[in-house]
Each structure stands twice: as C-alpha cells, then as structure tokens.
Amino acid sequence: MIPYGRQNISLKDIYNVTKVLRSDFLTQGPIVDQFEKKISEYCEVNYSVSTNSATSALHIACLSLGLKAGDQVWTSPISFVATANAALYCGANVDFVDIELETGNVSTTELEKKLKVAYIKKTLPKIFIPVHFSGQSCDMEKIYELSKEFDFHIIEDASHALGGKYKGKPIGNCTFSDITIFSFHPVKIITTGEGGVATTNKPELNEKMVRLRSHGITNKKDYMINRAIDEIWNYQQLDLGYNYRLTDIGASLGVSQLSKVNKFVKARNVIATRYNDLLKPLALKLPLVKGMNYSSFHLYVIRVKESNTRVTQKNLFEHLLKNQIGANIHYIPIHRQPYYEAMGFKEGSFPNSERFHKEAISLPIFPGLKKRNQKLIVNVLREFFSSRLN
C-alpha cells in the first residue's frame, strides 16, 4: 500500500537522536531550546514555544489569550477535530465559518457576513482560528483587517503549512495573527514523533504559554509573587498549567528534520506539479494555489465533479484502495461528528464544507514518493476513467 503521507527519516536523523539518548537530558533540555530558536529563525518570528502536540499548543494558545467558559471560538469545519476541541477544553463555545470550494480554506466573505450578524446579536467570537488547509495560507491580511474591525484574536492553525509562504513571507511569522500553531506528527511536513509548536511576536503570550506548558510554574523572579524570592531554588505556580513539554529526544529529531524542510517542501511541490500535468486530461477538479501563496503541499486533494455519475467519490476511492493506493478523505466536517451534532449542529449548516467532503480525495504525497509510484497512481486513475467512459 502506498500511504497518503509518510515521514522521511535519514541515517543522520537517527544518529542525532541516538546522541541525545547518550546525553544528560532526555526530556526538555538544551535541544528543546535549540529547536525553538531554529523554528523562530525559520519562521522569522520572535518566540516559539514547543509542545508535545499541536493539540496542546492550540489549547495553551487559547488559554494564553484568556479564553474561558461562555466565550466564542470560530473555526473552519474542514479541519481535524483538534482545532475545535481546543476551544471546548477551555469551556468555550465553538461555531464554524464555511469554506471556499477552490482551496478548502475558510471563506473571508462568509466570515465577514457572519461577523456583521454576530455584531448585532452580540455574539462576536473572542478567537478565530483559520486553518491553512493542505499547506496553503488563508487570506490572512483580510482576516487581520476584520479582527481590527470586530475585535477578535487570531490563532493560525498551520499544522499543514510549515515551509509555506503567504505574500512572500514564511507562514508562522505572525504578521497577521497573535499565535501560529504547527504540528510535528509524522504525516506532517517535519516530525518530532509527536510534537507541536506555538509561535508569537508577543512577549506576554510567550511567557504565558511557557508557563502553561509546564504546570503554570515559573522560576523567573520578575514574574513571582513577592514572597521569599531571594531563595534561588524558589519556584511558584501562578496558573493551572499542564505537562505539555516536548522531549529532547523529539526535539533532536526536529532540529535534524528542520534542516531539510525546504528540500521536503520543494519535493512536495514537484510531486504536486507532476500530478497537475498528468491529471489535467481527466474529468477531475485539481487543487488551486492562489497567486499570493506558496503551498507546503501537505495534502494533494482532487475533487470528483458533482455532475459525473460514473465517477463518484466512493467508486474512485474504492478503486484506489483496491489497487494498493492509500487514498484518504480530508476531512469529515467537524460539525458532522456525533459529538458536535449533539451540541445542535446539523447537516446543511455549512453547505460548501459538506460538498467538499463529498467530492475530495487526498492522493499520496510525501518527499519519499518515487516518480515511478506516482506514475502508477496516475495510471490507476486513468484506467478507471477510461473504463467508465462506455
């Protein structure tokens, strides 16, 4: 089976990880610091707070912005459930903004419409979480303008998008947001095993997230409540935090992988361009990358044409699996999950997201995908279309 995504681990990565296994620190230590510095440099941002997953990074990002029970968080239905769950962890309510079909990203037109209604009803969100679907940035400048007009915070869920660019700048630099989140799960652009990071330019958010990642504890005198602070071994718990720390083992893999991120993303773009060329003759909708974006192509998502009764998502998906091609569906809209339906969300609430879900198939894309395997995948698709013509 050719999977839809796969990590790319070199002998050098293995060597770098085993070096840590022989060192003094296994859990958070000097390599975590080093990894965070390198992420900040790469993303051209002031601070990076690494965590044991992107889910935990989303959680502490929401908390650091003061999210609490009764607040509203809006996001896209076309994401992994973790994006919305992070808001629920804080006791907040979740609502969604529908997507644009061409990119799978949230529609800023829909967002603006919904904000105007919420302004009148006094139900404006405290935080909006745009998701950079498949590695392509949402229109952040427009979202940022709306955030100034309607007074909400922005967390970019860039779990797919390390190495991508928006208007020439690296995703993660937070020019148009408070915080950006990346995931280092093995199917993502680079991996630390499990892991994530939150980037920000704001020192107060950085401090807060650093504390929340580790039990809410500080050992910095400047932040301590004035009590016996001259004792050098003193530490104080200031917030209710968690153990969300990344390990030095994971971070050493991260440092090693980050040195190859541009190569990985370039390889993904080569594969995507080749798919675009080879699949053009088939009756499929191919992914669109807007002119302002450079996508990291975490996913390559094709869509079947709605009017084509011979080639449906289901029969094409089954055909791929039968031929050992590990196609996948990204995503089941979050509001259609039983847990969310129990909160009152219904079929039909976000029509573009539901339609996207019924048309989309993710084809294999990862740096180690061989040209010959990609041609095999394309041939399987071609055969399917020609067998369905008559």
Residues 6+ apart with CB under 8 A from 383: none
Rg (CA), the chain: 22
Instruction: Fill in the per-residue mask, 222 to 261: x = in contact with ligand PLP (CB under 6 A), - = not in contact.
Output: ----------------------------------------
Least CB distance to ligand PLP at residue 129 (A):
9
The binder of ligand PLP chosen from 196, 287, 333, 364 (CB under 6 A): 196
Cα angle, residue 314 at apex, residues 308 and 317 outer, rounded to 5°:
110
DSSP β-ladder status, 360-363 and 300-304: antiparallel
Burial of 130 (0-12, 13-18, 19+ CB in 10 A): buried
Q: Which two tokens stand for residue 118?
A: 């919420």
Instruction: Fill in the per-residue mask, 61 to 90: x = in contact with ligand PLP (CB under 6 A), - = not in contact.
Output: ------------------xx-xx-------
Distance of CA 351 to the CA centre of its chain: 22
Least CB distance to ligand PLP at residue 343 (A):
19
Least CB distance to ligand PLP at residue 79 (A):
5
Least CB distance to ligand PLP at residue 81 (A):
8
Residues 6+ apart with CB under 8 A from 205: 47, 61, 64, 65, 178, 179
User: Does 331 sit behind a cis peptide bond, omega within 30 degrees of 0 on the bond before it?
Assistant: yes
Piece of 52-60, 340-348, 360-368, 375-383 that binds ligand PLP (CB under 6 A):
52-60
Q: How far apart are CA 249 and CA 21, in angstroms?
A: 7
Sheet bearing 127-129, strands edge to edge: 47-51, 196-200, 179-183, 153-157, 127-129, 72-75, 93-96
Closest to ligand PLP by CB, 189 vs 381, is 189
Q: Is 54 in the site for ligand PLP (CB under 6 A)?
A: yes
Piece of 16-24, 153-161, 352-360, 374-382 that binds ligand PLP (CB under 6 A):
153-161
Least CB distance to ligand PLP at residue 76 (A):
9
Q: Is 131 in the site for ligand PLP (CB under 6 A)?
A: yes
The binder of ligand PLP chosen from 59, 126, 160, 165 (CB under 6 A): 160
Closest to ligand PLP by CB, 45 vs 189, is 189
The binder of ligand PLP chosen from 16, 55, 191, 199 (CB under 6 A): 55
Closest to ligand PLP by CB, 183 vs 199, is 183
CA distance between the termini of the chain: 29
Least CB distance to ligand PLP at residue 21 (A):
23
Q: Residue 382 phi/psi, 5° resolution?
A: -60, -50
The binder of ligand PLP chosen from 153, 185, 213, 319 (CB under 6 A): 185
Q: How far apart are CA 95 and CA 101, in angstroms?
A: 19
User: Footprint of ligand PLP on this chain (CB under 6 A)?
Assistant: 53-55, 79-80, 82-83, 131, 157, 159-160, 183, 185, 196
